């Protein structure tokens, strides 16, 4: 019995992500590699060398036929790239997909009538030589046409990735999902960095601050990921402690803590209050006092601008 012929995959914009996926699929025999298209021929040739197969070319040449196009290029270039591959007449049996985090498949509309999709691997692609060893186990979040997803899913699960689909009917689902990953990744870094710097303003070294805060941060992160936030939340806002919160605001205002950090602390206190309201542990009057204190701090910060 003959094995089915693997689909032919071409790549536009073979950056770190594109090289990683193509190398792994090529090595596993999941696809055959067609064109590898980059703005500069040297970049295309370097990508082909890493992938281990493919024909290096630039957009100055015309696209060749293939079964799947992976557009691994900057977000703003996606429509232009889709128009470029559409120079070769496309049909409904072909798949065109991108791996951008915040954009959905409609960014590829110039490539219709091909089946369109987006698949975002939740992974840090620092260097392809590292990513080929660490991608397994990562979630890959997909949306787009059912036909495209049914063809792409086996390719990603062959890399031991975990496949997760968004509701393609929601135009905002992809951007909201990506905002969640940014909050959990980038914004978490900002929050931890602020906590460390506040401890430094209190006279601790950064090393001491890290050792002090690590148990609090890791324990609450694990608990919040496992259960509802209102079951985890503690602290002055949670218990309606206006005196402690006022002391924090006063210390921030009379220290050398930058205005941006003071504003962030106030904003986080207000967001924390929203969680505290769900706990039901405090009388409404006490929560109202917390809100009034937060509003007063906003007025003071605005007056100091």
State the CATH number of the domain containing residue 119.
Answer: 3.40.50.720
- 135 inside domain: yes
Mean pLDDT value of segment 91-97: 96
Compute φ and ψ for 71, nearest 5 degrees. Answer: -100, 100
pLDDT of residue 304: 75
How many domains, the chain? 2
- Verify that 15 and 143 share a domain, yes or no: yes
Mean pLDDT value of segment 32-61: 96
pLDDT of residue 196: 97
Percent of the residues in the chain that have a pLDDT greater than 90, as a whole number: 86
Residue 305's pLDDT band (cuts 50, 70, 90):
low
Residue ending a domain, among 168, 191, 218, is: 168
pLDDT at 259 over 80: yes
Q: What is the 3-state secondary structure (H, E, C) of 246-292?
A: HHHHHHHHCCCCCHHHHHHHHHHHHHHHHHHHHHCCCCHHHHHHHHH
Cα–Cα distances in angstroms (integers) from residue 42 to residues 56, 70, 137, in the given order: 9, 19, 32
- Verify that 54 and 146 share a domain, yes or no: yes
pLDDT of residue 134: 96
Among 135-139, 234-238, 300-304, where is mean pLDDT lowest? 300-304
Mean pLDDT value of segment 139-157: 97
- Verify that 262 and 127 share a domain, yes or no: no
pLDDT of residue 1: 54
- Verify that 48 and 131 share a domain, yes or no: yes
With 0.75 as the threshold, say if the pTM is over it. yes
- Verify that 164 and 258 share a domain, yes or no: no
- Verify that 252 and 277 share a domain, yes or no: yes
Residue 4's pLDDT band (cuts 50, 70, 90):
confident
- Verify that 142 and 214 share a domain, yes or no: no
- Give, as one character, the DSSP assignment of residue 143: E
Mean pLDDT value of segment 201-229: 96
pLDDT of residue 209: 98
Give the rounded distance of the alpha carbon of 64 from its chain centre. Answer: 32
Cα–Cα distances in angstroms (integers) from residue 106 to residues 95, 117, 168, 174, 220, in the given order: 13, 8, 10, 11, 38
**Domain span holding position 64:** 8-168
- 243 inside domain: yes
User: Could you give the angle at the alpha carbon of 160 between the alpha carbons of 158 and 165, nearest 5°?
Assistant: 90
Q: How do residues 98-122 score in pLDDT, each as one tens digit?
A: 999 999 999 999 999 999 999 999 9
Separation CA 302–CA 130 (nearest Å): 47
Q: Report strand pairing: 139-144 vs 115-121.
A: antiparallel
Q: Report strand pairing: 32-37 vs 55-57.
A: parallel
Select from 52, 13, 18, 50 the least CA-distant residue to 32. Answer: 52
pLDDT at 198 over 60: yes
Mean pLDDT value of segment 260-264: 93
- Verify that 161 and 246 share a domain, yes or no: no
Residue 161 is encoded by which pair of tokens? Answer: 């990735």
Select from 94, 147, 149, 84 the least CA-distant residue to 119. Answer: 149
pLDDT of residue 171: 80
User: Which carries the bigger pLDDT value, residue 169 or residue 92?
Assistant: 92
- Verify that 109 and 202 share a domain, yes or no: no
- The string over 136-175, giving b where at least 16 C-beta atoms fall within 10 Å of a residue's C-beta and e elsewhere, is eebebbbbbbebbbebbbebbeebebebeebebeeeeebe
User: Which carries the bigger pLDDT value, residue 303 or residue 265?
Assistant: 265
- 284 inside domain: yes
- Verify that 145 and 79 share a domain, yes or no: yes
Residue 29: how many other CB atoms lie within 10 Å: 10
Percent of the residues in the chain that have a pLDDT greater than 70, as a whole number: 99
- Verify that 141 and 31 share a domain, yes or no: yes
Residue 166's contacts (CB-CB under 8 Å, 6 or more residues apart) are 141, 142, 143, 173, 174, 177
- 1 inside domain: no
- 2 inside domain: no
Per the prediction, the chain carries an average pLDDT of: 94
Separation CA 59–CA 44 (nearest Å): 11
Residue 298's pLDDT band (cuts 50, 70, 90):
confident
- Verify that 140 and 207 share a domain, yes or no: no
pLDDT of residue 2: 62
Residue 78's pLDDT band (cuts 50, 70, 90):
very high
Residue 134 is encoded by which pair of tokens? Answer: 């660490």
- 19 inside domain: yes
């Amino acid at each position: 019995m003959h094995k089915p012929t693997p689909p032919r995959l071409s790549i536009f914009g073979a950056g770190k992500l594109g090289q990683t996926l193509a190398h792994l699929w090529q090595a596993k025999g999941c696809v055959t590699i067609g064109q590898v298209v980059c703005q500069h021929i040297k970049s295309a040739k370097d990508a082909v060398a890493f992938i281990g197969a493919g024909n290096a070319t630039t957009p100055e040449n015309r696209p060749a036929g293939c079964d799947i196009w992976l557009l691994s290029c900057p977000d703003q270039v996606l429509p232009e790239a889709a128009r470029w591959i559409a120079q070769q007449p496309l049909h409904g049996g072909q798949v065109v997909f991108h791996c951008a985090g915040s954009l959905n498949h409609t960014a590829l509309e110039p490539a219709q009538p091909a089946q369109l999709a987006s698949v975002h691997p939740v992974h840090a692609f620092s260097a392809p030589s590292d990513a080929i060893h660490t991608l397994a186990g990562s979630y890959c979040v997909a949306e787009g046409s059912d036909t495209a997803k049914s063809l792409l899913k086996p390719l990603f699960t062959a890399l031991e990735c975990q496949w997760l689909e968004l509701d393609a009917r929601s135009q905002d689902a992809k951007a909201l999902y990506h905002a969640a990953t940014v909050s959990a990744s980038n914004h978490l870094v900002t929050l931890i960095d602020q906590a460390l710097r506040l401890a430094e303003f209190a006279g601790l070294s950064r090393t001491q601050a890290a050792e002090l805060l690590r148990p609090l941060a890791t324990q609450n992160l694990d608990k919040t990921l496992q259960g509802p936030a209102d079951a985890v939340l503690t602290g002055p806002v949670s218990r309606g402690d206006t005196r402690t919160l006022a002391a924090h605001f006063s210390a921030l205002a009379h220290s050398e803590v930058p205005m941006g950090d003071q504003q962030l602390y106030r904003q986080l206190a207000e967001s924390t209050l929203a969680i505290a309201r769900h706990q039901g542990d405090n009388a409404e009057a006490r929560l109202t006092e917390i809100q009034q204190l937060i509003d007063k701090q906003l007025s003071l910060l605005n007056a100091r601008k």
